[in-house]
Amino acid sequence: MGRYTGPKVKKSKRVRAPIAETTKHMKADLDRGPGVHGFSRRRKSTIYGDRLREKQKLAFFYHVSDKQFRRYMAEAQRTSANTGEKLNELLERRLDNVVRRAGFTRTIWQARQVVTHGHIQVNGSKVDRPSYQVRAGDVVTVRGKSQKAVTAMAESVDTGSIIPKWMEVDTEKLTAKVLALPQPDEIFRPFETNMQLVIEF
> Which residues contact residue 95 at a Cβ distance below 8 angstroms, ignoring those fewer than 6 apart?
115, 120, 122, 127, 129, 130, 131, 132, 133, 134, 140
Instruction: Tell me the pTM.
Output: 0.84
Strand (E) positions, the chain? 120-122, 125-126, 139-142, 167-170, 175-178
Report the distance separating Cα 198 and Cα 71, nearest Å: 14
The full set of domains in the chain, from first to last, is 9-90+191-200 (1.10.1050.10), 94-181 (3.10.290.10)
Per-residue pLDDT tens for 114-154? Answer: 999 999 999 999 999 999 999 999 999 988 877 777 777 77
Q: Any idea which of 117-121, 153-157, 190-194 has the lowest mean pLDDT?
A: 153-157
Q: What is the pLDDT of residue 50?
A: 83
> How many Cβ atoms sit within 10 Å of the Cβ of residue 30?
18
